[in-house]
Amino acid sequence: MQTPDQPLHDEAAAPAPATRARGRPRAFDREAALSKAMRLFWQKGYEATSLADLTTAMGIASPSLYAAFGSKEALFVEALNHYGATYAWGWKNFLDAPTARDAVKAWLMDSAAFLTGGVEDVPLGCMATLSVIGAAGHQELCEQTRTARAAPRAVVRKRLEQGAANGEIPASVDLDALARFVQIVQNGMSLHARDGASRAELEAAVQVAMRSWDALVEG
Amino acid sequence: MQTPDQPLHDEAAAPAPATRARGRPRAFDREAALSKAMRLFWQKGYEATSLADLTTAMGIASPSLYAAFGSKEALFVEALNHYGATYAWGWKNFLDAPTARDAVKAWLMDSAAFLTGGVEDVPLGCMATLSVIGAAGHQELCEQTRTARAAPRAVVRKRLEQGAANGEIPASVDLDALARFVQIVQNGMSLHARDGASRAELEAAVQVAMRSWDALVEG
């Protein structure tokens, strides 16, 4: 097993040789290769994805992989960031919604569609939620995925604060608990999507979850 | 890597030699070794748990491990069953509760305690929920964990049916959606527990979830 964070090769950092022909295409499309790695980690999880899986999917040999991405661990972190950047549009309906309730419902309903492959042909469930779970000697990696998983709760919490500020949510409501509840539901949906739940089944569960919102807000 | 489901040795099935001394202790305590394997898989997940991790934790050499348990995959399945049998008491309050509402709340509140290590010093989160997530070429294993994960929903569904039959839950309520919602919350709590949520934080989220129940039942 390669040592995390230790590049085995340093070709990427080396200056291009003077004899290199101008305009010569790189041996592989870095962005496309990263996207393939992202899908593989997403589908199989970090641990179950082997170097052979990666080189096959990415269409490059392992020295090129190490040269371009450093290590399996570093590649995963880059793939996770790529995931975040690629699917940032998933928050659009949330951010555009006029009320905090609409925002939360939009995020959960959009999640029901996205997590079950209803928006794009991608692996089921959320990459950040499902691809690194344990604490398997990859301390930094676990920390990174924990941070990635915590991020949506902060976004939801902020939107709830706005809802409380404009009187939509009574002051008596525990916003931390409500934000955590919303994220617990979204995370649980990832697992159910991976286990085969349909979009309609998740949407029905979201409808139940939104009853909590209404009960809380109506006091 | 060993081939799943193919025992490498068959010592366990072989008849004891006639010269074996009566009362001679087995080379290791099978139950204790299984319990150690369970905790390791639970903590690290199936993929990240190496044979070396297992033999170290179980205090046996790999030939003995294969002789007694067949394969890493077979050992995991046995460990998962051991988990189910060991923590079946987790359903006691659910089954003893007088109403469906009390039952569901008891399961979620007991989960908040158990999943955060508040009941016993065990790994955080649920082994069945967290230790096999992907579809990493272990088709049968994925199927087994999917089945283990689906089982609680059937138990909850049955209790909801009783609640509907005795008039506690109106006929208009979609019991499938309610059962799935309850399990989504419990599964999401596993992930949050693994990521460091406290028992109190999960209990607060359960209180929010129970508002859905009340809103549904009150129509």
Q: For residue B64, give the CATH number of its domain.
A: 1.10.10.60
- B12 located within any domain: no
Q: Do A96 and A194 have their domain in common?
A: yes
How many CB atoms lie under 10 A from the CB of residue A170?
11
Q: When comparing pLDDT for A139 and A113, which is higher?
A: A113
Residue listed under structure tokens 């209180």: B207
Looking from the CA of B166 toward its CB, the CA atoms found within 13 Å total 10
In a domain, B5, yes or no: no
Residues B49 and B155 reside in one and the same domain? no
Nearest to B197 by CA among B181, B185, B214: B185
CA gap A92, B168 in Å, rounded = 40
Q: Let me know whether A140 and A58 are in one domain.
A: no
Helix (H) or strand (E) holding A186: helix A175-194
* Record: contact B216-A211, CB cut-off 8 A: yes
- Tell me: do A188 and A130 sit in the same domain: yes
Q: What is the pLDDT of residue A21?
A: 46
Length of chain A: 219
- Say if residue A54 is in the same domain as residue A134: no
Domain holding B76, by residue range, is 30-84
Total domains in chain A come to 2
pLDDT at B26 over 60: no
Residue A182: inside a domain, yes or no? yes
Same domain, A61 and A95: no
Mean of pLDDT over chain B: 86
pLDDT at A213 (0 to 100): 87
**Residue B126 in domain:** yes
The token pair that represents A212 in the structure block: 């909590």
Q: What ipTM goes with this model?
A: 0.86
**Residue A83 contacts residue A93 (beta carbons within 8 Å):** no
Whether residues B168 and B137 fall in one domain: yes
- pTM of structure: 0.86
User: Tell me: the pLDDT tens digits for A20-70?
Assistant: 445 555 556 899 999 999 999 999 989 889 999 999 999 999 999 999 999
| pLDDT at position A17 | 43
Query: Does A136 sit within 8 Å of B45, measured CB to CB?
Result: yes
Q: What mean pLDDT comes out for the span B30-41? A: 95
Q: Does A14 touch chain B (CB under 8 A)?
A: no
User: How far apart are the C-alpha atoms of B45 and B34, rounded to whole Å?
Assistant: 15
Q: A29 phi and psi, to 5 degrees?
A: -85, 105
Same domain flag for B174 and B203: yes
Q: Is the pLDDT of residue B66 over 90?
A: yes
Cross-chain residue pair A45–B133, CB shorter than 8 Å: yes
Question: Is B206 found in the same domain as B171?
Answer: yes
A residues 140-199 closer than 8 Å to B (CB): 146, 149-150, 174, 176-178, 180-181, 183-189, 191-192, 194-197
Q: Is B135 in the same domain as B66?
A: no
The answer to whether residue A22 is domain-embedded is no
Same domain membership, residue B56 and residue B115: no
Regarding whether B191 and B124 lie in a shared domain, the answer is yes
B122 Cβ under 8 Å from any chain A Cβ? no
